[in-house]
Structure 1
């Protein structure tokens, strides 16, 4: 097909960048000219791509979101969630579109929450592909009524800023009508996917072997419990410290990752706990027996791909929906609060059905094809157009 200018847009959140960078890498590998539209913090993740910075849209550090968007505060609760949508996602959308329209592109592949890139494709009448970086959404009748009163108005004001006509459906209206690439697999979904959906498993770039902690050999021959809150909700009191306290005298070796905060912020560690800021999941999870998580979609899919069952204590935003999906699928136990974690971990360790189910789902994720399949589907769309 020759070289194409493909714009790959990702909100500058770590959980979004992982999926979008994987697609970008594969498109670059196939000889396309990729323009990566993302924040400065994550430009290095899009190797081989031309970087298009956030300029009209206010760039931000996802680890300190409230510095740019004060209304988000500590990121907890309904008000913070609403501020996240209003100020970060919708509030920057028109300016994102302005950034994107300052370059040339033949196709847009966009994180489903990078609304500006989708609107730019619509304005330029070029094909566009949505990548769902979180579980799929679908409005039920009551939610649709609420959406009509609140969300649709907010989204349509954003559309009006760039000269587009209104649409109903809020988030669903920003799914490409031609191709929606969904992480995971159909069996994990609790909503009916739109007809243009194609499940591609897990979108992740190949792991690079980084410097591993000096205690890494201690994992040999041990039962390992991994505790993570991902990279967005990093307050240690939410899950990390409760898990350390609950498992402090457990026979397992407990590996805690902070998601970027210095490991020292955890304070004194029990004798069976080891901590690091970050360890690639593709290196750690094959050596893990149970993962305790707040329900980040990327981390959950990583655990499933590795066949690791989970205890999920849902955090903010979409994480309750993630917990519902993976627990209903039989690969996890959910705790609404970080209590009785030791009991939950022992249950997962002692009942083989959780690990067996995780392994089965992991086989399905691998079979879905990942970034290579995503790039194939993008190519098929281009041929159709």
Structure 2
């Protein structure tokens, strides 16, 4: 079977798919990928046929951090996805013509590509590497966006009934006209609700699991939780790591710029006097002007997987990829959410007892130090989450689902 995977220009959306593609390739299927230009060499090293998505897509910056209010941030983010959709529809259409696949996997945020996949008549699926923004008709899941605690009692249910439709209208006004414009040009029916973006495909590989995700009485049809499927390009561990004999604390920022660099600076100040070995990874632009204490190392890039093997805590902005990679290793997290889906990720961490949550407006060295030290006591919760991830079957279960969707068996 020939499988074509199409991603948005975000490493956080590509990396969780790689173990699934690797499992499909291991079973003998032919895998082709369209993704960020910077990642094609790494994917070719995995044995896939890889080409870059259209340059015009990568040229459109995800700049929601420039907006001042939550509704404005949502609008700016949706405008980015809508602008990219104008290009990714034609891009996937060309890729299908060139590759002649038997099945197509599409990033859930590639709206135009999703419309083309739907129209193609081929078996197709999406994958989602962050919390599912779909309400639960039977309750239990708070309205998506601000990171609310799950409702308890009559007042909580009243809150959800009042806020749910309001938040859905905000997202709908921002997303539906843009998504439906490209769907109209592709000749497929319009979405009626924002939730349709995530539930229109016959299969959605949902890259998380309980107990990090909230339980639902009933999941939307087609949703298959497969855990985070964490991956990063292979790299040798840093030579100094073996000699580290104190608890290691890792801090990192978003792979897509969102002005969260002060998290690293605050962590360096907060933990300068603690008996820990602090490791910070930060893009080159954020290295200038940092004061690095004696118990810390700062680098533009370090492989996280070997660091997690020694880590006692990870301090993160709350991106689902970085957060779930730590939890999959049984490492508790201190989450400081700055925007996007990070409020939801942070609250899920807190509710699962797998770490701590510190809102970015309250970020200070003293508060962060306390939050990190508390998070380091949450190892049992992190291990419960890791066990939940493993119980899904991970990439093996995801590959089974893709094969089942396509009615295909692995080649003999």
Which one of 328, 337, 340 corresponds to residue 314 of structure 1? 337
The Cα of 1:205 is off from its aligned counterpart by: 3.8
Aligned pair partner of 1:348 in 375, 398, 412: 375
Q: 1:222 to 1:298 in 2, by over 3 A?
A: same
Runs of 4+ in 1 over 6 A off after TM superposition: none
Matches within 5 A, 1:301-340: 301-337=324-360, 338-339=363-364, 340=367
Aligned positions, number:
368
- What's the counterpart of residue 198 of structure 1? 224
Aligned twin of 1:94: 86
For residues 119 and 229 of structure 1, the distance between their equivalents in structure 2, rounded to whole angstroms, comes to 32
CA change 1:154–1:366 in 2 (3 A) is same
> Could you say what secondary structure the match of 1:274 adopts?
strand
Q: Separation in 1 of the partners of 2:172 and 2:259?
A: 35
User: Structure 1 residues 113 and 45, CA, compared in 2 at 3 Å: closer, same or farther?
Assistant: farther
Q: Aligned residue for 1:65?
A: none
Instruction: Name the residue aligned to 2:383.
Output: 359
Contact 2:108 2:127 in 1 (8 A): yes
Tell me the distance in 1 between the aligned counterparts of 2:241 and 2:267.
Answer: 20
Distance 1:284 1:71 in 2: 30
Matched, 1:257 2:249: no
The change in CA–CA distance for 1:148 and 1:176 in structure 2 (over 3 A counts) is: closer
After superposition, the C-alpha distances for 1:62-118 in whole angstroms (9 at most, x for unaligned) are: xxxxxx44965757754454223212x121213212111122222111221122322
Alignment of 1:164-175 (within 5 A): 164-175=188-199
User: Unaligned stretches of 5+ in structure 2?
Assistant: 136-163
| Aligned CA distance change for structure 1 residues 59 and 145 (closer, same or farther; 3 Å) | closer
CA contact (8 A) 1:77 1:316 kept: no
CA contact (8 A) 1:111 1:133 kept: no
TM-score by length of 2: 0.82
1:178 deviation in Å? 2.0
Q: Secondary structure at the match of 2:236?
A: coil
Greater shift in the superposed pair: 70-79 or 137-146:
70-79
Deviations 1:288-338 (A, max 9, x none): 001111101011111111111111100221111100111111111111122
Distance 2:372 2:204 in 1: 36
Cα-Cα RMSD? 2.5
Name the SS for the 1:101 alignment partner. helix
Q: Does 1:121 align with 2:117?
A: yes
Q: Distance in 1 between matches of 2:174 and 2:235?
A: 46
Indicate the residue corresponding to 1:179 in structure 2: 203
Which gives a bigger RCO, structure 1 or 2 (Cα 8 Å, sep 6+)? 2
Q: How does 1:1-385 map to 2 (within 5 A)?
A: 4-47=1-44, 48-55=47-54, 58-60=56-58, 68-69=60-61, 72=64, 74=66, 78=70, 79-87=72-80, 89-102=81-94, 103=97, 104-139=100-135, 140-190=164-214, 192=216, 193-205=219-231, 208-210=234-236, 212=238, 214-219=239-244, 221-233=245-257, 235=259, 237-258=261-282, 260-261=283-284, 264-265=287-288, 267-337=290-360, 338-339=363-364, 340-349=367-376, 351=377, 354-383=378-407
TM norm structure 1: 0.87
Q: Relative to structure 1, is the Cα distance of residues 293 and 267 closer, same or farther in structure 2, using a 3 angstrom cutoff? A: same
Given that 2:320 and 2:342 are in contact with CA atoms closer than 8 Å, whether structure 1 keeps it comes out as yes
Instruction: Give the 3 Å change call, closer, same or farther, for CA 224–315 of structure 1 in structure 2.
Output: same
Structure 1 spans left out of the alignment, 5+ residues: 62-67
Q: CA offset at residue 176 of structure 1? A: 4.2
Displacement of 1:253 = 1.2
**Counterpart Cα distance in 2 of 1:40 and 1:75:** 28
Answer whether contact 2:308 2:329 (CA < 8 A) is retained: yes
Residues 369 and 279 of structure 1, relative CA distance in 2, 3 Å threshold: farther
Q: Does the CA contact (< 8 Å) of 1:25 and 1:205 recur in 2? A: no
**Are the aligned partners of 1:326 and 1:332 in contact in 2 as well (CA < 8 Å)?**
yes
